[in-house]
């Protein structure tokens, strides 16, 4: 089958959740024999949408990549001000279109190319409901449209504009049941194909996790955070809770890995390792007492699944329903909704290694059962068969 | 019986929270955690203390400042403090860096101890691995030696058999040689007899045709 993916950014250097999700799905489907093409922009940064890649065609791991340049960069400050206004004040439909333009990435050439060439593809898969490329892309094509919303409960979902986004696709591929339920409260999916699928996780082969400790000089038990280090991901709250925790307990470190987008306190029990190779990340996850996922807004959280795949339980925000669902379905971690919960959960993980071990095993089983690549790809194949059958019945 | 089994499966390793390890119920664990948090006596929220000012190595976790001086002891303490007040900057100057140095040394020692523990554990692991590898090599070598010895015994037996075979062959060949000589002699005698009979035949023919 010929499949087109439409996503706001794409590339090996792009590590955003939904972008990486899209790349992994496209590459796996290409490996399975489908002809995959990606329509994307030349931007690398989701903050500025600055054109950094070359425009045109290229190939990445068996997938054809079509890049189109972004018309203008994003002024984050102006966008935040406008968002703040639009989310809290009565406004007109045109204001929402303005908001979408400010959100970006403004890339009309991508939309035009997609509209022109859509007949070359059997299926069009859009990633992330939130961006210009998805809204205008969905509006301008007539083919078999699939949306992978990667949504979490956040103010843009409540804009009227989003009703159009969620009414156009013929099929939806959700990351978790919690995401599906949350979106079902806001939009109607009656008569549409719906599947909870997520993304596959490779179970890493760990030769010697102790090399991580030696390489980075970490010999104490530690809690790990892996991901973008920024207030929007709940890191400020995490640091505050952890500092409060270690005032009385001096035997635990907080290790942070990933891109740093905020200042970190100068504290001997907080270690920032920067951007580490993926093998080191897997080893760090395997060695951690627990990995913590403080974000209030997640639709899947691949870092959590990676942690579970190496038998390390997770500690998550109670308010983040997809993550809480991982824990309740997989029996593989604890959740918190304040510093006291956080402290008690960390204490319990330290005091009860048997509970930690069993939760780790449960987590690995959960990932193998729900998020292994054969399971995920099988769900996509079922989706494609459904869309093809629908087409046949239409022409009969 | 089933209940008894379940009771055994239910863990209390953390000392407080009851957990069925075979079927972990996260919501139940969180409920127990929150019940315990709710049951705690309400304490005044402590001020956020910067790390450098207090250290666990010197203050136990529940350390709290003693109440202010009272009675004669208190008055005496106040008097001493008043006398020493002019010297307090000097005392601070002398004490604080020492405290800081001791604190840093303790942290360094702690880190060094952890490092040593880690290295010891690694050495122990490596030694265990080497011992296991040596045992394995010994076992394999012994097995191979046993096999080689078996081969040697078998080859020795083969050699004996070959030796016997050679001996028998020599005997048989000798017998055959003797037999050959005997047959050659018989053949020579037959030749002589044949020649003599020919002569006799010719002599008789002469006598007959005279």
Q: What is the pLDDT of residue A138?
A: 92
Q: What is the pLDDT of residue A84?
A: 87
CA proximity to A127, closest of A142, A155, A149: A149
Question: Does residue A188 sit at the B interface (CB-CB below 8 Å)?
Answer: no
**Nearest residue in A to B122, CA atom:** A210
Q: What is the pLDDT of residue B64?
A: 38
Q: Are A240 and A340 in contact (CB under 8 A)?
A: no
Domains of chain A: 2-200+372-395 (3.40.50.2000), 210-370 (3.40.50.2000)
Q: What is the pLDDT of residue B97?
A: 61
CA proximity to A252, closest of A356, A342, A347, A344: A347
**Nearest residue in A to B48, CA atom:** A244
Mutate which: B13, B21, B30, vs A, most A CBs within 10 A: B30
CA proximity to A209, closest of A274, A281, A260, A138: A281
* Polymer length in residues for chain A: 396
Q: What is the pLDDT of residue B34?
A: 86
Question: Does residue A101 sit at the B interface (CB-CB below 8 Å)?
Answer: no
Beta carbons of B26 and A331 less than 8 Å apart: yes
Give per-residue pLDDT as tens, B49-107. Answer: 443 433 333 333 333 334 444 578 778 888 888 888 787 777 766 666 667 677 778 87
Beta carbons of A355 and B21 less than 8 Å apart: yes
**Considering only CB atoms, which chain A residues are within 8 Å of B114?**
219-220
Percent of chain A having pLDDT more than 90?
A: 39
Asked, for residue B142, whether it belongs to a domain, the answer is: no
Q: Are A151 and A157 in contact (CB under 8 A)?
A: yes
Beta carbons of A213 and B118 less than 8 Å apart: yes
**Nearest residue in A to B10, CA atom:** A355
Interval B17-21 mean pLDDT: 85
Asked, for residue B26, whether it belongs to a domain, the answer is: yes
Question: Does residue B209 sit at the A interface (CB-CB below 8 Å)?
Answer: no
CA proximity to A35, closest of A67, A68, A4, A66: A4
d(CA A315, CA B13): 20
Interval A4-23 mean pLDDT: 87
**Considering only CB atoms, which chain A residues are within 8 Å of B15?**
351
Give per-residue pLDDT as tens, B141-194. Answer: 999 999 999 999 999 999 999 999 999 999 999 999 999 999 999 999 999 999
CA proximity to A181, closest of A321, A20, A319, A278: A321
The lowest-confidence range among A46-55, A348-357, B34-43 is B34-43
Beta carbons of A354 and B21 less than 8 Å apart: yes
Average pLDDT of every residue of chain A: 88
- Indicate the number of domains in chain B: 1
Q: Are A205 and A185 in contact (CB under 8 A)?
A: no
CA proximity to A234, closest of A311, A339, A305, A158: A339
Would you place residue A218 in the very low, low, confident or very high pLDDT band (cuts 50, 70, 90)? confident
* Helix, strand, coil abundance in chain B, percent, nearest 5: 80, 0, 20
Asked, for residue B210, whether it belongs to a domain, the answer is: no
d(CA A175, CA A301): 9
Helix (H, G, I), strand (E, B) or coil at A274: strand
Beta carbons of B27 and A328 less than 8 Å apart: yes
CA proximity to A70, closest of A83, A87, A51, A52: A51
Would you place residue B119 in the very low, low, confident or very high pLDDT band (cuts 50, 70, 90)? confident
* Polymer length in residues for chain B: 210
Beta carbons of A348 and B14 less than 8 Å apart: yes
Q: Which residues, 6+ apart, have CB-to-CB distance to A132 below 8 Å?
A: A8, A100, A101, A103, A104, A105, A106, A107
Closest CB from A219, A348, A355 relative to B118:
A219
Give per-residue pLDDT as tens, A107-148. Answer: 999 999 999 988 889 899 999 999 999 999 999 988 889 999
Asked, for residue B1, whether it belongs to a domain, the answer is: yes
Closest CB from A334, A335, A351 relative to B14:
A351
Q: What is the pLDDT of residue B194?
A: 95
Beta carbons of B34 and A331 less than 8 Å apart: no
d(CA B10, CA B23): 9
Average pLDDT of every residue of chain B: 78
Beta strands in chain A (DSSP E): 2-6, 35-41, 56-60, 63-68, 123-127, 145-148, 171-174, 193-196, 222-226, 253-257, 270-274, 290-293, 314-317, 333-336
Asked, for residue B8, whether it belongs to a domain, the answer is: yes
Percent of chain A having pLDDT more than 70?
A: 97
Beta carbons of B24 and A355 less than 8 Å apart: yes
The lowest-confidence range among A217-221, A326-330, A377-381, B12-16 is B12-16
**Nearest residue in B to A329, CA atom:** B26
**DSSP annotation string for A167-222:** HS-SEEEES-HHHHHHHHHHS--TTSEEEE----------S-THHHHHHHT--S-E
Say whether pLDDT at B8 is over 60: no
Domain of residue B35 covers 1-42
The lowest-confidence range among A160-174, A253-267, A361-375, B86-100 is B86-100
Question: Does residue A346 sit at the B interface (CB-CB below 8 Å)?
Answer: no
Q: Are strands A171-174 and A56-60 parallel, antiparallel or unpaired?
A: unpaired
Asked, for residue B13, whether it belongs to a domain, the answer is: yes
Question: Does residue A185 sit at the B interface (CB-CB below 8 Å)?
Answer: no
The lowest-confidence range among A337-346, B12-21, B113-122 is B12-21
- Give, in degrees to the nearest 5, the angle at Cα A37 between A35 and A38: 155
What tokens does A74 get? 């994003």
What SS3 string covers A15-72?
Answer: CCHHHHHHHHHHHHHHHCCCEEEEEEECECCCCCCCECCCCEEEEECCEEEEEECCCC
Say whether pLDDT at A205 is over 80: no
Q: What is the pLDDT of residue B68?
A: 45
Would you place residue B9 in the very low, low, confident or very high pLDDT band (cuts 50, 70, 90)? very low
**Nearest residue in B to A318, CA atom:** B30
CA proximity to A48, closest of A1, A92, A9: A9
A230 min Cα distance to partner chain B (Å)? 22
Would you place residue A176 in the very low, low, confident or very high pLDDT band (cuts 50, 70, 90)? confident
Say whether pLDDT at A209 is over 90: no
């Amino acid at each position: 089958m010929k499949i087109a993916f439409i996503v706001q950014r794409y590339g090996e250097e792009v590590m955003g959740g939904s972008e990486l999700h899209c790349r992994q799905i496209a590459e796996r489907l290409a490996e399975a024999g489908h002809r995959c093409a990606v329509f994307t922009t030349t931007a690398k940064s989701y903050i500025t949408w600055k054109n950094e890649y070359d425009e045109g065609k290229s190939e990445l791991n068996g997938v054809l990549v079509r890049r189109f340049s972004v018309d203008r960069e994003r002024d984050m400050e102006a966008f935040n001000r406008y968002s703040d206004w639009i989310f809290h004040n009565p406004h007109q439909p045109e204001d929402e279109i303005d908001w979408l333009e400010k959100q970006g990435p403004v890339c009309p050439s991508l939309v035009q190319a997609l509209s022109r060439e859509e007949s070359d593809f059997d299926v069009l898969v859009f990633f992330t409901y939130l961006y210009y490329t998805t809204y205008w892309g969905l509006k301008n094509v007539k083919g078999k449209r699939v949306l992978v919303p990667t949504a979490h409960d956040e103010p843009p979902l409540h804009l009227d504009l989003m009703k159009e986004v969620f009414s156009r696709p013929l099929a939806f591929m959700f990351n978790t049941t919690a995401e599906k339920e949350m979106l079902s409260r806001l939009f109607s999916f009656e008569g549409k194909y719906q599947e909870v699928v997520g993304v596959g996780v490779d179970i890493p082969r760990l030769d010697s996790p102790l090399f991580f400790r030696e390489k980075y000089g970490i010999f104490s038990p530690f809690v790990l955070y892996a991901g973008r280090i920024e207030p929007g991901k709940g890191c400020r709250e995490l640091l505050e809770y952890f500092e409060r925790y270690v005032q009385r307990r001096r035997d635990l470190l907080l290790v942070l890995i990933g891109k740093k987008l905020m200042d970190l306190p100068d504290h001997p029990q907080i270690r920032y390792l920067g951007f580490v190779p993926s093998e080191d990340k897997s080893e760090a996850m395997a060695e951690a007492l627990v990995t913590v996922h403080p974000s209030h807004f997640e639709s899947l959280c691949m870092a959590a699944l990676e942690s579970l795949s190496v038998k390390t339980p997770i500690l998550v925000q109670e308010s983040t329903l997809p993550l809480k669902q991982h824990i309740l379905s997989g029996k593989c971690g604890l959740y918190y909704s304040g510093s006291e919960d956080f402290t008690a959960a960390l204490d319990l993980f330290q005091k009860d290694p048997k509970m930690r071990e069993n939760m780790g095993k449960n987590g690995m089983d959960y990932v193998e059962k729900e998020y292994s690549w054969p399971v995920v790809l099988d769900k996509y194949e079922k989706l494609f068969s459904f869309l093809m059958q629908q087409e046949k019945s239409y022409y009969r | 019986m089933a209940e008894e089994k379940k009771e055994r499966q239910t863990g209390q390793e953390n000392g407080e929270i009851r957990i069925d390890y075979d079927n972990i119920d996260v919501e139940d664990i969180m409920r127990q955690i929150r019940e315990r948090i709710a049951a705690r006596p309400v304490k005044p929220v402590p001020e956020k203390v910067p790390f450098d000012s207090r250290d666990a190595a010197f203050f136990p976790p529940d350390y709290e400042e003693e109440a202010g001086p009272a009675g004669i002891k208190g008055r005496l303490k106040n008097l001493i403090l008043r006398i020493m007040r002019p010297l307090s900057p000097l005392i601070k100057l002398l004490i604080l860096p020492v405290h800081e140095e001791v604190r840093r040394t303790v942290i360094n020692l702690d880190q060094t101890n952890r490092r040593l523990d880690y290295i010891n554990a690694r050495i122990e692991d490596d030694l265990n691995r080497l011992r296991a590898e040596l045992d394995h090599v010994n076992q394999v070598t012994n097995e191979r030696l046993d096999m080689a010895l078996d081969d040697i015994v078998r080859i020795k037996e083969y050699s004996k058999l070959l030796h016997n075979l050679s001996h028998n062959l020599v005997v048989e060949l000798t017998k055959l040689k003797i037999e050959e000589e005997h047959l050659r002699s018989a053949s020579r005698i037959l030749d002589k007899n044949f020649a003599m009979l020919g002569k006799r035949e010719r002599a008789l023919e002469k006598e007959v045709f005279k």
